Structure 1
Amino acid sequence: MQVVWFKRDLRVEDHQALSQAARVGRVLPLYVVETELWQQPDASARQWCFIAETIAELRARLGELGQPLVVRLGEVTSILAEFKKFNLINGLWSHEETGNDWTYRRDIRVATWCRQHGVRQYEVQNHGVFRRLKSRNGWAGRWDRFMRQPVSVPIALEPVQVEPGPIPSARDLGLSDDPCASRQTGGRRAGLERLNSFLTKRGEYYQREMSNPVEGAAACSRLSPYLAWGALSMREVAQVTEKQRQALPPQATQWRKSLRSFSSRLHWHCHFIQKLEDEPRIEYENLHRLYDGLRPRQPDSELLAAWANGETGYPFLDACLRSLRATGWLNFRMRAMVMATASYHLWLDWRAPGLHLARMFTDYEPGIHWSQVQMQSGTTGINTVRIYNPVKQGYDQDPQGTFIRKWVPELTHISDQHIHEPWKSNDAQQIIGTIYPERVFDHLAAAKHARERVWGVRRNSGFYAEAHAISAKHASRKNGRVVRKKARDADSPAQLRLPLGDPS
């Protein structure tokens, strides 16, 4: 019996591990709900609810092929041992996973168990992330070649006399209540609908509107949770997007720009995950070690709570965090701003706000998330330090205050003129400090302080030598930005081409 272990690949279509296992012998498709995984500080009920909907649909789809998904609750090796006792496992198949540190260590335990019990283990590449990569040189070409490979199609399965098992609820897993009224619906059908509507209707002005918090909610693809949990494969999305782009008429200039921009972000998706694959410590250590100790390791609990609850006194920032809590999603620009504000203006170590955001994002993808958290906190040593002004971002991205008024109803009676800076309004005394909080930081003074501290690290002896090594391992090679093998002065920024902030 070939056990196919589903993890972040909750689909039948373009599931290489399933297809290959089915050619070897009878297949038992398995999803293990790991109780300990769901007690980790980056896990949340909204994520599990999305997954539960997705695996329910996956179970039905596998049933159409002949064998429904088997669901078990517990620790993976114990469950595999039970199957082994009843001669239900000869081979274990799965896709390679780049998850958090807990799943990394769990995969090591599973590999050890397989060796000890004579079970052959097969791990198949899931998307454009490459194991044991020696150099980033040529990475984009490898990504393109992988995405051009044929999409595998599902084949019939023989039924296995095994009880399918129930799909537990978030409460069964001991997860805290996590209301997310506008969360995206899980499942492949919902993902395909989002893909089709983006490529044919919603995405025309993607390039222009993706940074806008109001228009971006519709103009962005909204595929991220379906890619994060594998209801859709990156390969099928890349191929369908390229096919749609090739079919555009010559006059569809705006569509062409938007789909080109979207395609580049599919590359960036895997580019960021590759960083965590190559260096798992990104999840819990500063990438550039000279930033160790820069911020207090224990965050100010009151500041952290004000930020997380959208009660900082900065309307646009608060609107973003409240929107995230209610929907499980923010566009990239807003994600960057809320993280940068926590790290720079509130001077919080990135781990605590990073964990809060991880729990809030339905589309939490550890490789993208922790790479971006460090990038927006200025601790990579190779990215441009970007300290977003939360007031200016509001004026730029929500000039009429539409987004603010939706999520910060306390400011209903503030005029458009002062919606971004209500403390300047004639009504300030009736609102600020009563129904809407006082500002918990001065954005100009805090930014100045942060800029001096972060750039001060870059003046340390040895900074650029380590940055050079980080760039060699992780930086994009796009647009000729290569790392020189031999620099005349390793501590000189002139000898190290520091890449700009990567888009996502």
Structure 2
Amino acid sequence: MMVDTAIAWFRRDLRVHDNEALVAAAEADRLLPVYCVDPRSRDTRPYGGSDSFRYPKTGGHRARFRRESLEALRGRLRESGSDLLIRFGRPEAVVPELAAAVGADAVTFHGMPAPEERAVDRATAAALRERGTEPRRFWGRTLHHPDDLPTPPTEIDDTYTRFRKAVEADSTIRATHPVPSLPPVPGTDDPTVEAATVRPGDLPSVEDLAATGDSLAAGADGASPDPDERAVHPFPGGEDAALDRISAYLWDGDHLREYRETRNGLLGANYSSKFSPWLNEGCLSPRRVHEEVTAYERERVENDSTYWLRFELRWRDFFQFQVLKHGAQFFAPGGLRRRDDVEWKWDADEFGRWAAGETGVPFVDANMRELNATGYLSNRGRQNVASFLANDLRIDWRRGAAYFETRLVDYDPASNYGNWAYVAGVGNDSRRRAFDVLAQARQYDPDAAYVTTWLPELDGLPADRAHAPWTLSTEKQADYGVELGVDYPRPMIDPESSGDDPV
């Protein structure tokens, strides 16, 4: 089909490299790139389903990252002679109206896997068809394209190991799409298009993108809060920052060769790749990461660590395809396993202590305070705080996953809820996943450097006591200047029983 005018609708694909939807739209004579600030993606919304609850969708950390990513994308498009239109409103209303106003023959976009996102896909596509505009959906979310899987996504195995072995044996990884040359924006050579229609519009502020009243959204002057100096990485948004991170991690620092050995770290920028914020906002293509790893293997070393980074990318793929397969059931209280034998509870006070990092269990509290202050948490930390909430407190796992949705700078629906369900025992693995948090702390933070970084009130304690301050006698508390219940909370549970089979 010959296309005179196309719209490229950007979503969580804020990049120009390996962007098939943009490549397809660039074949038109005129191209209008568009991004919609959807009010449903930011404010307090009902979770949905049985035992629903309300929670804020997007907090300040991800709002800041998204705003920077949009600014970076607009800069890239302008360098290519194009621009990025920013519009506020629901895409199913905004995009068709723009298509009609500029006489667009087609709208290209990337499909997304989660039920909420797919509902927007369908509604927008239907509204476009009603106006005589062709919606053209592409897929650029995963390392492996759905069409290249050994079985369709709706038939993939629900066990990761079987899925991984199948794709390793019988699935190729497509080459990345080149950055296209971009045609002019409609209106520059067409007097029938009103100038106001294609006016770029202002970039959204952090407050425009974050839930109303979110305490982390902005400072008193409306600017993004200053980054915490303890953060493992500042995570600047945008495609350039993503590609810079690849260069810094793989090539400049040569950290990939030890990734498998360091990936359970807790402090510092380079214990893991830290690619996830850019992957999940679409500033970085997983196929681009694969190509960089392949080049690294060719030029530096091929070992267990280079394999393990692809292993993690395939974990990410697995959850994307699991959401495509299971839809809303993925987010239900009983999860994919449809368990009805667990009585999840709701205790606002207990949840509040967990969320604030005031449980009295230092390893849990340090991780939650890092999450709140920076929007990021190590994989090891995520597993432990999730296990504490779901397996020790027995609070509805979806509440914790929703809290992560608000706070994480690298939130992705499939990975976040998939991993929470996995730890809570309602997801993709039948094995028990309760963590002994105290043992984990001693194993992965033996000198208590992580705990005391985020809990400075425990800084004067020896490592074994910093992990277990409740073992201090009254006299020792006085000696160290730490009074339990005053300087640091008493534990909510018996920490020695953490990870035991729940009653």
- TM-score where L is the length of structure 1: 0.83
Does the 8 Å contact 1:203/1:219 carry over to 2?
A: no
Q: Secondary structure at the match of 2:400?
A: helix
Q: Which residue of 2 aligns with 1:6?
A: 10
Map 1:439-454 onto structure 2 (within 5 A).
Answer: 439-445=491-497, 447-450=499-502, 453=503
Give ranges in structure 2 of 5+ residues lacking alignment.
46-55, 188-197, 217-224
Q: Which amino acid aligns with 1:210?
A: R
Deviates more, 1:359-368 or 1:21-30: 21-30
Stretches of 4+ aligned residues off by more than 6 angstroms: none
Cα RMSD after superposing both structures:
2.2
Deviation at 1:293, TM superposition (A): 5.8
- In structure 2, do the counterparts of structure 1 residues 377 and 29 end up closer, same or farther at CA, with 3 Å as the change threshold? same
Distance 1:149 1:403 in 2: 40
Q: Which residue of 2 aligns with 1:121?
A: 135
Map 1:22-41 onto structure 2 (within 5 A).
Answer: 22-39=26-43, 40=45, 41=56
Q: Secondary structure at the match of 1:171?
A: helix
Distance 2:128 2:241 in 1: 36
Q: Which residue of 1 aligns with 2:119?
A: 105
Q: Which residue of 2 aligns with 1:294?
A: 342
Q: Secondary structure at the match of 1:448?
A: coil
Deviation at 1:401, TM superposition (A): 0.6
Q: Secondary structure at the match of 2:153?
A: coil
Deviation at 1:360, TM superposition (A): 1.7
Q: Which residue of 1 aligns with 2:191?
A: none
Deviation at 1:134, TM superposition (A): 4.1
- In structure 2, do the counterparts of structure 1 residues 139 and 401 end up closer, same or farther at CA, with 3 Å as the change threshold? closer
- In structure 2, do the counterparts of structure 1 residues 233 and 150 end up closer, same or farther at CA, with 3 Å as the change threshold? closer
Distance 2:325 2:81 in 1: 38
Within the candidate set 308, 326, 333, 1:279 is matched to: 326
Distance 1:49 1:168 in 2: 10
Q: Over residues 52-90 of structure 1, what are the superposed CA-to-partner deviations in whole Å (9 max), with x where a residue is unaligned?
A: 101111111111112111110111122124324424322
Deviation at 1:146, TM superposition (A): 5.1
Q: Which residue of 1 aligns with 2:207?
A: 171
Q: Secondary structure at the match of 1:122?
A: strand
Q: Which amino acid aligns with 1:358?
A: E
Q: Over residues 87-133 of structure 1, what are the superposed CA-to-partner deviations in whole Å (9 max), with x where a residue is unaligned?
A: 4322110011123x432322221122123222111111113352762
Deviation at 1:258, TM superposition (A): 1.7
Deviates more, 1:157-166 or 1:146-155: 146-155
Q: Which residue of 2 aligns with 1:95?
A: 110
Q: Secondary structure at the match of 1:294?
A: coil
- In structure 2, do the counterparts of structure 1 residues 167 and 124 end up closer, same or farther at CA, with 3 Å as the change threshold? same
Q: Over residues 330-373 of structure 1, what are the superposed CA-to-partner deviations in whole Å (9 max), with x where a residue is unaligned?
A: 22122111111110111111111111112121110111111111
Q: Which residue of 2 aligns with 1:246?
A: 298
2:255 paired with 1:186: no
Q: Secondary structure at the match of 1:29?
A: strand
Q: Which residue of 2 aligns with 1:156?
A: 182
Q: Which residue of 2 aligns with 1:377?
A: 424
Q: Secondary structure at the match of 2:146?
A: coil
Does the 8 Å contact 2:99/2:107 carry over to 1?
A: no
Q: Which residue of 2 aligns with 1:130?
A: 146
Q: Which residue of 2 aligns with 1:21?
A: 25
Distance 1:387 1:415 in 2: 27
2:98 paired with 1:49: no
How many equivalent pairs are there?
443
Q: Secondary structure at the match of 1:211?
A: coil
Q: Over residues 222-264 of structure 1, what are the superposed CA-to-partner deviations in whole Å (9 max), with x where a residue is unaligned?
A: 100010011111111111111111222xxx5xx7232121121
Q: Over residues 270-308 of structure 1, what are the superposed CA-to-partner deviations in whole Å (9 max), with x where a residue is unaligned?
A: 1111111111221234224552361235x1111111111
Deviation at 1:447, TM superposition (A): 3.7
2:204 paired with 1:204: no
Within the candidate set 213, 216, 237, 2:289 is matched to: 237
Q: Which amino acid aligns with 1:347?
A: R
Does the 8 Å contact 1:269/1:368 carry over to 2?
A: yes
Distance 1:163 1:67 in 2: 12
2:243 paired with 1:223: no
Within the candidate set 363, 369, 382, 1:335 is matched to: 382
Distance 1:285 1:118 in 2: 41
- TM-score where L is the length of structure 2: 0.83
Distance 2:96 2:267 in 1: 51
Distance 2:496 2:57 in 1: 31
Deviation at 1:152, TM superposition (A): 2.3
2:449 paired with 1:398: no
Q: Which amino acid aligns with 2:20?
A: Q
Distance 1:309 1:31 in 2: 34
- In structure 2, do the counterparts of structure 1 residues 148 and 75 end up closer, same or farther at CA, with 3 Å as the change threshold? closer
Q: Which amino acid aligns with 2:270?
A: A
Deviation at 1:151, TM superposition (A): 3.0
Distance 1:446 1:403 in 2: 20
Deviation at 1:172, TM superposition (A): 3.0
Q: Secondary structure at the match of 1:291?
A: coil
Does the 8 Å contact 2:320/2:415 carry over to 1?
A: yes
Distance 2:395 2:348 in 1: 10
Distance 2:304 2:470 in 1: 40
Does the 8 Å contact 2:154/2:325 carry over to 1?
A: no
Deviates more, 1:375-384 or 1:320-329: 375-384
Q: Over residues 147-199 of structure 1, what are the superposed CA-to-partner deviations in whole Å (9 max), with x where a residue is unaligned?
A: 23243222132133310001111323553131564441101111111111211
Does the 8 Å contact 1:198/1:221 carry over to 2?
A: yes
Percent identical pairs in the alignment equals: 26
Q: Which residue of 2 aligns with 1:476?
A: none
- In structure 2, do the counterparts of structure 1 residues 38 and 381 end up closer, same or farther at CA, with 3 Å as the change threshold? closer
Q: Which amino acid aligns with 2:94?
A: I
Deviates more, 1:79-88 or 1:114-123: 79-88
Q: Which amino acid aligns with 1:428?
A: Q
- In structure 2, do the counterparts of structure 1 residues 236 and 218 end up closer, same or farther at CA, with 3 Å as the change threshold? same
Deviation at 1:145, TM superposition (A): 4.9
Distance 1:134 1:75 in 2: 28
2:372 paired with 1:325: yes
